Amino acid sequence: MMRMTNSDDLIRALRGLDQDVRTRVALDAMRAAAVPVVEEARSRAPRRSGKGAAAIGAGVRQSDELKVQISVGPSADTTTASRREGFYLHFIEVGTVERVTRPRPPREAMPRGSVTRSPFLRPALDARAGDVKRIVSQHIRRALDQAGR
């Protein structure tokens, strides 16, 4: 989780706005800040058909009036097709271990392979963290300027 530092003044000024405006500003700022992270994640995603990379999106959720959570990944987009196309990207990001399935007569136990960890989502966030902070600050400042604060 990335926390915005040195933004106490912005948060205090934002708290002075009407609750509906605060909510809209926070959600809009995080949606805009997600764009460069999604683009970076798509460029770093492993490709065979390209459908997995295309399925990467962003979902924004508000937990309270000034706390907004953003999720970037294949399941972040709410469309069913996107989730189906990129479901396997989680396995590539975190890796898997080899396992053996239970034997079913008349077959023997089947070893199943492992997937080596190859992160691309976290490095995308790390690469664009400065852009995220800049975009969020710009959106909040612009909203405060429009509100005359």
Per-residue pLDDT of 72-81, as tens digits, reads: 888 655 555 5
Question: Could you tell me which of 67, 40, 63, 47 has the C-alpha nearest to residue 128?
Answer: 40
Are the CB atoms for 29 and 60 separated by under 8 Å? no
Confirm whether 2 is domain-assigned.
no
Task: Specify if 41 maps to a domain.
Answer: yes
> Which helix (H) or strand (E) segment is 106 a member of?
none
Q: Take residue 43 and report the two structure tokens written for it.
A: 């460029």
Number of separate domains in the chain: 1
B/e letters for 120-129, b = 16+ CB within 10 Å, e = fewer, are bbeebbeebe
Higher pLDDT, 109 or 83: 109
For residue 70, is pLDDT > 80?
yes
For residue 90, give its domain range.
9-147
